[in-house]
Amino acid sequence: MINVRNANENDLPALLRIYNDIILTTTAVYQYKIHTLEMRKEWYTTKQQEGYPVFVAEENSELLGYSTLGPFRNWQAYKYSVENSVYVDAAHRGKGIGKLLLQPLITAAGELQKHTIIAGIDASNDVSTRLHESFGFKEVAFFKQVGYKFGRWLDLKFLQLILETPMKPVGG
């Protein structure tokens, strides 16, 4: 049985392994260089300090994937917007793990009084697009040739889910 729970520091080596494999083998992340464990620790510490969740899916003590929220942009007026990330280990894709990891992000965004979740998805990643659309995300932007990886130009989609929160926006 697959269990989804909050990540902890002991999970960081597995999260790093999954993330680095995605960097090296997919266009899900527009990065070239793999990350170090120190970088992943710093990333996790920042998530904790900013109050953003990191969820992991595990089965029999093996981490199968993870998901998180983070700021969409760091300017003050964007404080009600977040961007989500969902990463699944290559050996476990196609098993519904992405669905298990996306739902708690949506719930957490509401609890954090966020108003919208943005998903930046490589335009060729039909699986991620369909996953997000199954939760009500709608495509709102399409950027041509904004990335370059594996010897080709990459197009980027933004999908958005608008939430019923916050009840009383502050600021302004």
Strand order in the sheet with 138-149: 3-6, 54-59, 62-71, 81-88, 116-122, 152-162, 138-149
- The structure tokens listed for 40 are 């992943």
How many Å separate Cα 121 from the centre of its chain? Answer: 10
Checking if the pLDDT of 50 tops 70, the result is yes
Kindly list the domain boundaries of the chain, sorted by start residue.
3-162
In whole angstroms, give the CA distance from residue 23 to residue 4: 23
| One CATH from 3.40.630.30, 1.10.10.10, 3.90.1660.10, 3.20.20.70 for 3-162 | 3.40.630.30
DSSP for 94-153 reads TSSHHHHHHHHHHHHHHHTT--EEEEEEETT-HHHHHHHHHTT-EEEEEEEEEEEETTEE
Q: Is 169 exposed, middle or buried, given 0-12, 13-18 or 19+ CB atoms closer than 10 A?
A: exposed
pLDDT digits (tens, 9 = 90+) for 132-161: 999 999 999 999 999 999 999 999 999 999
In whole angstroms, give the CA distance from residue 119 to residue 105: 12
pLDDT digits (tens, 9 = 90+) for 65-99: 999 999 999 899 999 999 999 999 999 999 999 99
pLDDT digits (tens, 9 = 90+) for 7-25: 999 999 999 999 999 999 9
Q: What is the pTM of this model?
A: 0.94
Share of the chain above pLDDT 90, in %: 95
- The structure tokens listed for 63 are 């981490």
Give residue 58's identity as a one-letter amino acid code.
E
Q: Which residue has the tokens 């019923």?
A: 164
pLDDT digits (tens, 9 = 90+) for 107-125: 999 999 999 999 999 999 9
